[in-house]
Structure 1
Amino acid sequence: MRQDPDVDEVAEALLSGVGVLVRRVRQLPVQDRLTMPERSVLSRLDRDGPASSAELARAAQITAQSMGATVAGLVGQGLVERRRDPGDGRRVIVSVTTAGLALLDAKRHTRGQQLAHVLTEQFTEREIRQLAAAAPLLERLGRSIPTTP
């Protein structure tokens, strides 16, 4: 007789497994000049679109001053730009530049290649198919988690 999986155990196993994966991927060597906070801001702007510095600070759970320094560094490198909000001229919106997108694409490609190498070397074709089937579910799970209380 087959027993349904315990949802709490599945949730804990997913958190553990995905946590290990994310930490290890972040440790992979990537040839860029960015700090972790700068990479995080670029990725968030790419994923979620333009935002104010205050919104970025809240999302990263850091002070506005720290985010201001991070954004200033990215502006100085030509990876993001600041523009007045067309709907509210008092507000400044930060967005990724073409150079920032190119840097993100290169980083993702490098990390993708590094993961592909591990998959090829250490996983069977069957396991790779299982991971391929699970990938959209993991993304859907991630997008389904509310980020505000």
Structure 2
Amino acid sequence: MDDDLDPGAVAAVLLRSISVLLRRVRQVPTPGELTMPERTALSRLERSGPTTSSALAREVQITAQAMGATINALQGRGLIERSPDPADGRRMVLTVTDAGRQALQDKRDARNELIAGALTSGTFTPEELRQLTAAAPLLERLAQHI
């Protein structure tokens, strides 16, 4: 195997470059900025659907108390709502509101615009843009196997 195809070396290069990209993209400001815990909870709730605060805390691996503070902040801003669990009225189920979905979409749109601007700035050749396009599904497949 070629030295430049050593899995350990490839992993190190990928982690370094993806980490820089993610750090830069996460810094994109949007109106009504969500904190990282708020964005994490809201995104996870959007993907997984209605759930309880304790189940969401377990899923994102934080304490129930920390999740409670995050949920209260999100609910106070109208980004999530609580309703009684139809199966067990003692429990409350969390759902993302339309405003919560819009807040997440605004953040995604800002990130996409930032990356699209960098891709069209003349820094990349058409061939490099094709390479980046070809690499995207590979990166997604890599993520699914971790």
Match of residue 137 from structure 1: 138
CA distance in 2, matches of 1:83, 1:137: 40
- How many residues were matched structurally? 144
Shift of 1:131: 1.1
Aligned identity (percent) is 55
Deviations 1:37-75 (A, max 9, x none): 111111111223233212222233322111101101111
Q: Distance in 2 between matches of 1:97 and 1:69?
A: 18
Matches of 2:49 and 2:129, distance apart in 1:
32
CA contact (8 A) 1:30 1:111 kept: no
**Greater per-residue strand proportion:** 1
Q: Are 1:38 and 1:74, in contact at CA under 8 Å, matched by a contact in 2? A: yes
Which structure 1 residue ranges, 5 or more long, are not aligned?
Answer: none
RMSD across aligned C-alpha pairs, in angstroms? 1.9
- Cα distance change of structure 1 residues 90 and 144 upon mapping to structure 2, 3 Å threshold: farther
1:1-149 correspondence runs (5 A): 3=2, 5-121=5-121, 122-145=123-146
Task: List gaps (5 residues or longer) in structure 2.
Answer: none
Conserved 8 A contact 1:80-1:94? yes
State whether residues 50 and 94 of structure 1, in contact with CA within 8 Å, keep that contact through their aligned partners in structure 2: yes
With 53-62 and 105-114 compared, the bigger mean Cα shift is at: 53-62
**What TM-score do you get using the length of structure 1 for normalisation?**
0.84
Amino acid at match of 2:49: G
Compute the displacement of 1:25 (Å): 0.7
- Distance in 2, matches of 1:142 and 1:45, equals 20
Asked if the contact 2:51–2:94 (Cα under 8 Å) also holds between the matched residues in 1, the reply is: yes
Change (3 A) 1:137 1:77: same
- Distance across 2 between alignment mates of 1:21 and 1:87: 43
